[in-house]
A and B are shown apart, each in its own frame.
Chain A
Amino acid sequence: MIDAFSSAFGLLASSGAFERPPIDWHAVAPELCLLGGGALLTLIDVIWLEKGRSITSALAGIVMLIPLIPILTLAIDSEDRSMFKGAFVVDKYSLIIKALFLLSGYLVVLLSTNYIAEGEYWENEYYGMLISSVLGMVLMASARDLITIFVALELLSIPAYLLAAWRKKDHKSNEAGLKYYLMGVFASAIMLYGMSLIFGVSGSTILEEINESIASGGANTPVITLGITFVIIGFGFKVSAFPFHTWAPDTYEGAPTPVTAFLAVASKAAGFVALMNLVVIGFIGQEDVFQPLIWILAALSMTAGNVMALRQTNIVRLMAYSGIAQAGFMLAPLAVAGEGPAIADKAVSAVVTYLVIYAAMNIGAFGIILAVSRKTKSADLESYNGLFRTSPSLAIVMTVFLASLAGIPPLGGWYAKFSVFTSLTSASTNWGYGLAVVAAINAVIAFGYYGKIAMRMWVEDPHETHVGEVKVPVSLLTALVLTAGTTIAFGVAPGIVTHFTDVSLIAFGG
């Protein structure tokens, strides 16, 4: 027995096949904290059963915040770290994105607290899934290799499929889960096929090495084109870009509202992060391939999302279509990213700025939707009639979020759109200017439906069944205060956000 072992070890040692790569524990500390926290949450449920229920949501919130400590120490250290031949990178960009995911996760926990506790759902498992999904996102921020990106994508998606179908007895929630699942899995299968082609041509899964070997193009151009197209289409589903958006409105409507907020903000942001990693590090030398593709996706998403949002009568569906339009805005800077390193940096900074501001204002808007639907039990636009008379503070805060989403200064959304425009025009190409014009037209169309909600709140009379004041639970109130505060602060002093989002993807290692 021992002989067999020692000979096996001897074989391994003699071939020199495996040597454990050095692991920088400080760099993976945020992921490990989340992993440990999620495991702890599950253990508490197993040991204490019902008695543990009362603290689950508070604990989940703490688990979301703890990884911010290693992120802070890594940021103070301000040294770029790279592991596994560059497959896992911790730099300023990834730290900002990680902090964004964790804070969005925390806000979603705040939104979920009362909703999940009152609905007789499976509380502990819910937060476990949420943490596991956030773990995937945090991992995605550092992923610089095809396998890592794929694993992170599935780690964040698979729990999200379950969360969307969380209300087991409800037909709409079932349908939401199924549609999200089928579209998500189909998209990741297409994306994987593209990745396999890119791996075949470049002979590597590390994004930087892929860039070195495919940048020159050569004989394999058709295969590279096919591979990049499939990968971008796969992520088009994930970020709900037109024409791959069909799942989004149904899933958003059917899923529990806090989950919808999570999907609309964190899951979409994760798709963008993966897309940025791939495009700006891996495919940047193939700008002839990805730029037109992203240009078309961005222009179509903005226009189609806005036009379809105009005729919605359900606020969650309206937010879904508005999210599709916003995804178009976030895609736009990537359509000019291949024009040069400086422009690529600017595009990445613009997308990160947009993601941060979008997270604050969109989670806030979903917070109000949750608060109102707690009383009216419906997501119809009619529930917002006369909100200013029944609960004026909610109406004012909702107006702030809507104005920010529409891009009215001096609120955060204005600066987000502004940075997209500057990044588009900085490319000084006709394509960039063209897309800026499309974006400007769409920014105007968007006033139509955001204004419609505001009008209902301020001008119309309340529906006779919804006269009383809307009561807001403490955790939801905290989330609203935090998001409204950030939305206003980012708009009044954009320096706060640019201080963090002035990041570069190319500077490191190449």
Chain B
Amino acid sequence: MLLVQFLLLSSVLFCIGIYGVLARKNGVMVLMSIELILNAVNINLVAFGTMTNNIAGEVFALFVIAIAAAEVGVGLAIVLLIFRNRSSVDLSSIDSMKG
């Protein structure tokens, strides 16, 4: 069945996204990796929804897309703020608080 291929694709995307979040030091790259995870979620939802003929999957995916857009808007605003104050978006240099 085709579902397995979709799930494999989404799990590969998910793993790449997790790797990106953990390994990348650039704020924008981390944001993009999070987008990859969210797209893996969307593929899953649409694949499951189509398989079970359940519209809720597609609706859920639409909600995820809309909210991810809002989230990235806020995230880019915060990254931009940091770039203005520090002229860098290198996450490893953002460590003024410890303990």
Contact = CB atoms under 8 A, between A and B. Distances in A.
Given A147-B59, A189-B17, A196 B78 contact: no
A193 B14 contact: yes
Interface residues of B, number: 42
A427 interface: no
B52 A203 contact: yes
A254 B97 contact: yes
Contacts of A158: 70-71, 74
B82 A189 contact: no
A22 to B, nearest CB: 19
Contact of A186 (B34, B41, B44, B94): B34
A463 interface: no
B16 interface: no
Interface stretch (A91-99, A171-179, A490-498): A171-179
A268 B45 CA distance: 28
Q: Considering residues A169, A199, A249, A254, which has the most beta carbons from chain B within 10 angstroms of its beta carbon?
A: A199
A314 interface: yes
A161 interface: yes
A94 B40 CA distance: 32
A185 B34 contact: yes
A257 to B, nearest CB: 15
Contact of B96 (A172, A195, A203): A172
Contact of A205 (B17, B56, B75, B77): B56
Contacts of A192: 37-38, 41, 64
Contacts of B41: 189, 192-193, 195-196
Interface string B47-63: 11001101011011001
A178 B79 contact: yes
Quick one: which of B10, B27, B71, B94 has the most chain A CB within 10 A? B71
B8 interface: no
A178 B45 contact: no
B81 interface: yes
A204 interface: yes
Given A169-B85, A174-B81, A200 B48 contact: yes
A357 B45 CA distance: 39
A150 B63 contact: yes
Given A158-B71, A193-B14, A151 B63 contact: yes
26 contacts: A147-B59, A150-B60, A150-B63, A150-B67, A151-B67, A171-B85, A172-B97, A174-B85, A174-B94, A177-B81, A178-B79, A181-B78, A182-B34, A182-B91, A186-B37, A189-B37, A189-B38, A189-B41, A192-B64, A193-B37, A195-B41, A195-B60, A196-B45, A199-B48, A199-B57, A200-B51
Interface of B: 10, 14, 17-18, 21, 27, 30, 34, 37-38, 40-41, 44-45, 47-48, 51-52, 54, 56-57, 59-60, 63-64, 67, 70-71, 74-75, 77-79, 81-82, 85-86, 91, 94, 96-97, 99
